[in-house]
Amino acid sequence: MFQLRARDLSFLVHSPPCLPAPRVSPLFALRRNLSATTSASPGPFAAEDYLVATCGVPRAQAVKAAKKISHLKSSSKPDAVVAFLSGLGVPRSDIAAIVAVDPWFLCASVERTLAPRVTELRELGLSRSEVARLIPLALCSFRSSSLRGNLDFWLSVFGSYEKLLKALKMNSGLLAADLEKVAKPNLALLQQCGLSPSVFSEPFISRVLIRTPKKVQDALVHIDKFGVSQNSRMFLYALVAFTVQSPEKLTDKIGVLETLGWSQGDVLLAVKTMPGILTISEERLQKNVHFLTKVAGLEISYIAQRPVLLKYSLERRLFPRYCLLKLLNTKGLLDLRFDYNAASLSEKKFLGRFVHPYKERLPGLADVYASSCAGKLHMELLSENTKQN
């Protein structure tokens, strides 16, 4: 580098005196300037490529998100937003998640919108890292001028920042709820029912608190019809089940059970025991009831007393365990039918009781069972193999 500079200096020292610059026609100069300007100007803003390359959004998601910011002419505003988020400590993976769901975030003004929101949250006592964790959960609510007031209110309800974050993970619309018309009336209504304020700190209750007060009132009426006591520990789960679904959807699910042979008493018992079964999809209800009654041979009354059986995965839990017990019975290694006890055991206990003690007599038992639980194959394959040995 020094030699290069020396040569340049020597050239300048020994160069001939400056000569007058050659005359250039004004028309030629204008054409040259226009040409340089055209070649230097950037092309149109490619939103899809920007989302992929700069933000890390998967291509499939970027295609959809790019349509919402197609009006942008340059990357200046998105660049400022990405730099601002990165400066706060928001990981690139979170930035990708934010703009994939809410691409308009890239259109926000850092000076007029984002920076003031951060300042307000810092004044509430949140650290920079806590603000960074909040943004991917708050999404569009983070840009709202009501963010500070809403966050302050929900912090008082949940009692801690960590519980609030858990609630936001379950319910991203929490910070956008109308406090005066929705949240506060619902809290007052539930307190009138005798619920302690400490109950509201449970994150899953947030789904109830942002429903319309009429929806919550209707849910309370239905819960009473099913005989779920407000003093029961199942009451809160019933409140969620009856609040987050439409009456039509609830009627359809009850109808599914009735068409499968359940009496009104069976349905009432199951819902009273475990209200959460009403959040199960109709497809799973049909498949599980059919398997438990037609294949496993369990009585409906037995299932109604143990409705958690309806929530277990058929493919990854019920069917693999049923097949394994059937195999052990067929081989004369066990005399035990499939029932609630076998289905409800933790995976560790099930392996210790029904897999590990027999893996030497049935080589490959553990591997095939694990594959069956992963949905890759079924226990019948092992049964066929052992017949050949």
Contact present, 108 and 102 (Cβ < 8 Å)? no
Q: What does the pLDDT read at residue 42?
A: 55
**Other CB atoms within 10 Å distance of the CB of residue 6:** 10
Per-residue buried b or exposed e for 364-382, using 16+ beta carbons within 10 Å of the residue's own CB: ebeebbebbbeeeeebeeb
Cα radius of gyration (the chain): 33
Distance CA 178, CA 212 (A): 10
Residue-wise pLDDT for 117-165, tens only, equals 999 999 999 999 999 999 999 989 999 999 999 999 999 999 999 999 9
Q: What does the pLDDT read at residue 338?
A: 94
Which sequence spans correspond to the domains of the chain? 44-145, 149-244, 246-311, 314-388
Q: What is the dihedral of CA 328, 333, 336, 339, to 10 degrees?
A: -30
Contact present, 51 and 66 (Cβ < 8 Å)? yes
Q: What does the pLDDT read at residue 376?
A: 63
Can you give the three-state secondary structure of the chain, one letter per residue? CHHHHHHHHHHHHHCCCCCCCCCCCHHHHHHHHHHHHHHHCCCCCCHHHHHHHCCCCCHHHHHHHHHHHCCCCCCHHHHHHHHHHHHHCCCHHHHHHHHHHCHHHHHCCHHHHHHHHHHHHHHCCCCHHHHHHHHHHHHHHHHCCCHHHHHHHHHHHHCCHHHHHHHHHHCCCHHHCCHHHHHHHHHHHHHHCCCCHHHHHCHHHHHHHCCCHHHHHHHHHHHHHCCCCCCCCCHHHHHHHHHCCCHHHHHHHHHHHHHCCCCHHHHHHHHHHCHHHHHCCHHHHHHHHHHHHHHCCCCHHHHHHCHHHHCCCHHHHHHHHHHHHHHHHHCCCCCCCCCHHHHHCCHHHHHHHHCHHHCCCCCCHHHHHHHHHCCCCCCHHHHHHHHHC
Distance CA 339, CA 347 (A): 15
Unique residue bearing structure tokens 């400066």 = 87
Distance CA 147, CA 21 (A): 64
Residue-wise pLDDT for 303-359, tens only, equals 999 999 999 999 999 999 999 999 999 999 989 899 999 999 999 999 999 999 998
- Enter the tokens of residue 299: 């009585």
What is the longest distance spanned by two Cα atoms in the chain? Answer: 110
376 Cβ contact list (under 8 Å, min separation 6): none
Q: What does the pLDDT read at residue 43?
A: 59
Q: Please list the pLDDT of the chain residue by residue as tens digits (389 residues).
A: 333 333 333 322 343 343 344 444 443 443 344 344 444 445 578 989 999 999 999 999 999 999 999 999 999 999 999 999 999 999 999 999 999 999 999 999 999 999 999 999 999 999 999 999 999 999 899 999 999 999 999 999 999 999 999 999 999 889 999 999 999 999 999 999 888 888 888 888 899 999 999 999 999 998 988 888 888 888 999 999 999 988 899 999 999 999 999 999 999 999 999 999 999 999 999 999 999 999 999 999 999 999 999 999 999 999 999 999 999 999 999 898 999 999 999 999 999 999 999 988 888 888 888 888 887 655 454 444 434 44
Contact present, 170 and 204 (Cβ < 8 Å)? yes
- Enter the tokens of residue 260: 């499968």
209 Cβ contact list (under 8 Å, min separation 6): 157, 174, 177, 182, 183, 186, 187, 200
